Amino acid sequence: MTTLGISRTPSRERTRDADPALTQATDLASLFAALHAATKAALDAESMFLGLYNEASHTIDVVRQGEFGTEFSGGTFPLGDGVTSEVIRTGQSRLIRHWSEEGPPVHLQFLTTTPGLPESAITVPLLYGDRVLGVLAAHKYEPDAFDQADLQVLEAIAAQTSVALVGIRESELRSARLHERVSQLESVLGSMADAVLLLDAEGSLVSLNRAARELLCGDNSSIVLGQPLEQQVWGLWPLGTRELTEALRPLLTTVQQGETPPEAEMQLEQHGRRRFLSFNATPLFDVTGHVIGSVLVVRDVTARRQMDELKDEMLSVASHDLKTPVTVIRSDAQLMRREIARKTTSLEEVDDGLRTIVRQTDRLSKLLSLLLDVSRIDAGRFEIAPSQVDLGRLASTTLAEVQATTDEHLLELHVSGQPTGYWDERRLQQVLLNLLTNAIKYSPKNTPIAVDIRAERKSVTVSVIDRGIGLAPDESVHVFERFFRARSTRRLEGSGLGLYICQSIVAAHGGRIWVESAGSGKGSVFRFTLPRSNTHHRATANPREYSPVAPTLTAR
Return the ∠ at Cα 490 (arms to 484 and 491), rounded to 5°: 160
- Rounded-to-integer distance, Cα 359 and Cα 357, Å: 5
Cα-based distances in Å from 415 to 383, 438, 463, 509, 556: 28, 21, 11, 21, 20
- Amino acid 214 reads E
Residue 3 near residue 160 (C-beta atoms within 8 A) = yes
Q: What is the mean pLDDT of residues 369-398?
A: 83
Confidence of residue 495 (pLDDT cuts 50, 70, 90): low
Confidence of residue 322 (pLDDT cuts 50, 70, 90): low
List the single range of 178-187, 328-337, 399-408 with lowest mean pLDDT: 178-187
Better-scored residue on pLDDT, 435 or 356? 435
Residue 296 near residue 207 (C-beta atoms within 8 A) = no
The pLDDT value recorded for residue 553 is: 27
At residue 291, φ and ψ (nearest 5 deg) are -75, 125
Strand ranges inside 400-446, DSSP E:
409-416, 420-423
Residue 374 near residue 501 (C-beta atoms within 8 A) = yes
Q: What is the mean pLDDT of residues 180-207?
A: 72
Size of the chain, expressed as the number of residues it contains: 556
The pLDDT value recorded for residue 340 is: 87
Return the ∠ at Cα 315 (arms to 314 and 316), rounded to 5°: 90
Write out pLDDT tens, residues 436-453: 988 998 888 888 999 999
Confidence of residue 9 (pLDDT cuts 50, 70, 90): very low
Positions of CATH 3.30.450.20 in the chain: 192-300
Residues 6+ apart with CB under 8 A from 480: 499, 500, 502, 503, 513, 515, 548, 549
**For domain 387-546, which CATH number applies: 3.60.130.10, 3.30.565.10, 2.60.120.10, 1.10.3720.10?**
3.30.565.10
Topology given in CATH for the domain delimited by 306-378: Helix Hairpins (1.10.287)
Confidence of residue 183 (pLDDT cuts 50, 70, 90): low
Percent of the chain residues topping a pLDDT of 70? 74
pTM higher than 0.85, yes or no?
no
Positions of CATH 3.30.565.10 in the chain: 387-546
CATH homologous superfamily for 5-173?
A: GAF domain (3.30.450.40)
- Rounded-to-integer distance, Cα 516 and Cα 465, Å: 10
Q: What is the mean pLDDT of residues 140-151?
A: 93
Residue 194 near residue 218 (C-beta atoms within 8 A) = no
Which of the residue ranges 72-86, 133-147, 235-249, 317-331 has the most confident prediction, judged by mean pLDDT? 133-147
Confidence of residue 228 (pLDDT cuts 50, 70, 90): low
The pLDDT value recorded for residue 297 is: 86
Confidence of residue 549 (pLDDT cuts 50, 70, 90): very low
- Amino acid 360 reads Q
Q: Mean of the per-residue pLDDT values for the chain?
A: 78
List the single range of 7-11, 139-143, 476-480, 530-534 with lowest mean pLDDT: 7-11
Write out pLDDT tens, residues 256-303: 888 888 888 877 766 666 778 888 888 888 767 788 888 888 888 877
Topology given in CATH for the domain delimited by 192-300: Beta-Lactamase (3.30.450)
CB count in 10 Å sphere of residue 134? 25
